[in-house]
Homo-oligomer: A and B are copies of this chain.
Amino acid sequence: MEPIEVGILGATGNVGQQFIHLLSNNPWFRITALAASERNVGKRYSEACAWRLSADMPAAVRDLIVQPCEPGLNCQIVFSALPAGPAQEIELRLASAGYGVFSNASAHRMDADVPLLIPELNGAHLGLLAHQRESRGWDAGFIVTNPNCSSMGLTVALKPLYDAFGLRRVIVTTMQAISGAGYPGVPSLDILDNVVPLIRGEEEKMATEPLKILGAFEPTSGTLVPASFAVSASCNRVAVRDGHMESVSLELERKTSVEDLIRAFAEFRNRPFSLGCPSAVEHATVYRAEADRPQPILDRGAGRGMAVTIGRLRPCEVLDYKMTVLSHNTIRGAAGCSVLNAELMVAEGLL
């Protein structure tokens, strides 16, 4: 198979760099277009971008000329690392012009006809695309989104439990990494020797995105019925580079045991891995039995950053159970999920 030609919107920012890093060794895709904001258009990428990853900038992108974020990009699909504001219009324009858009931005996540996709969880939601194209009058283009980085870890961890036992209520407190705010992002004076108890918009996303992701796609109507449990989130920023930690308490619909819950994580299988998607890992949920795990330093790299690590599953004095969840926010929680979304569509013959 010839690699599919792909472009990156917002290629010079932090998530854009992650996209480039992840895609540069991906056998199914080849980067042929990089797009960014006006002031960088026309420059060679190596001049336009202040590269901040420890892995060196891939040679293949150094000399690509940065293009505007508009139709005319020489590629079939684009990965969007744009901020929510510009993403709103630009993604519509590109989808309308025939591009497949895989977006990490929040702009269209909650649109009724846009899949909010975690490929190991709700691949069936790709069924929304028929409805999306029809209602919007698009030919080949489409928009597929991936969730917010803090919703991501939570929802992956909830999925095996939701399927097996049902969920009623979830209370989650996050301790989120600074890389989640991009670059320059969090000023060091705000976080060194400190915790910031506010991440704007994050708690609202965590209250709604998991319900859409765990919702049921109705093939007949072509629409989605969201899940109906309640999520209450308290979001905090802590002095960690990568890896969002979450302390979670939950109430189930059907009572069970700690052992059964742990088994649900162990037995959880995912279709992208079965289909051979290059970014998929066999175990999307990893349970650590040690009393003091997960920890960002030790576990954020699990499954090359694509696995969600769960630990400390134990009874909760108020709801049913509590546990700790960790996911790598810039890989699993952003670029990595978006790339896997595209791989799933390739594997399913949809691209």
List the interface of chain A (C-beta within 8 A of B): 52-54, 169-171, 173, 175, 178-179, 183-198, 207, 230-232, 234, 236, 238-241, 245, 247, 249, 291-301, 311-312, 316-319, 322, 324
A238 vs B299: C-alpha distance when bound (angstroms): 16
A189 touches B52 (CB 8 A): yes
Q: How many copies does the complex hold?
A: 4
Note all chain B residues with C-beta closer than 8 A to A324: 197, 234
A178 cross-chain contacts in B, Cβ below 8 A: 188-189, 192
A195 touching B318 in the complex, CB below 8 Å, given contacts A187-B186, A188-B188: no
Of the residues B54, B169, B295, contact of A297 by C-beta under 8 Å: B54
Taking a contact as CB atoms under 8 Å apart, the answer to whether A169 and B318 are in contact is yes
Asked if residues A294 and B54 are in contact (CB atoms below 8 Å), the reply is no
Once the chains bind, are B232 and A193 in contact (CB under 8 Å)?
A: no
In the complex, residue of chain B having the shortest beta-carbon distance to the beta carbon of A55: B301
Contacts A238-B175, A245-B236, A301-B54 given; does A312 touch B186 at CB 8 Å: no
A234 to B316, CA, bound (A): 9
What are 21 inter-chain pairs, A to B, with CB distance below 8 A? A54-B297, A170-B318, A171-B316, A171-B319, A175-B236, A175-B238, A179-B189, A184-B187, A184-B189, A185-B188, A186-B187, A189-B241, A193-B193, A194-B240, A194-B295, A195-B240, A197-B311, A198-B291, A230-B317, A232-B317, A234-B322
CA distance A159 to B249 in the complex (A): 24
Minimal Cβ-Cβ distance residue in B for A296? B194
Q: Which of B183, B193, B195 contacts A175 (CB 8 A)?
A: B195
Is A249 within 8 A of B236, CB to CB?
Answer: no
| B residues near A293, Cβ cutoff 8 Å | 197
Inter-chain contacts of A296 with B (CB < 8 A) = 193-195
Query: Which of A53, A194, A230, A232 counts the most B-chain CB atoms under 10 A from its CB?
Result: A194
Residue of B nearest to A173 (CB): B173
- Which residue of chain B lies nearest to A194 when distances are taken between CB atoms in the complex? B297
Q: Do A183 and B187 touch across chains, with their CB atoms under 8 A apart?
A: yes
Complex alpha-carbon distance, A317 and B294, angstroms: 27
Whether A187 contacts B185 in the complex (CB less than 8 A), given A171-B171, A171-B249, A197-B245, comes out as yes
Q: Which of B190, B198, B300, B312 contacts A197 (CB 8 A)?
A: B312
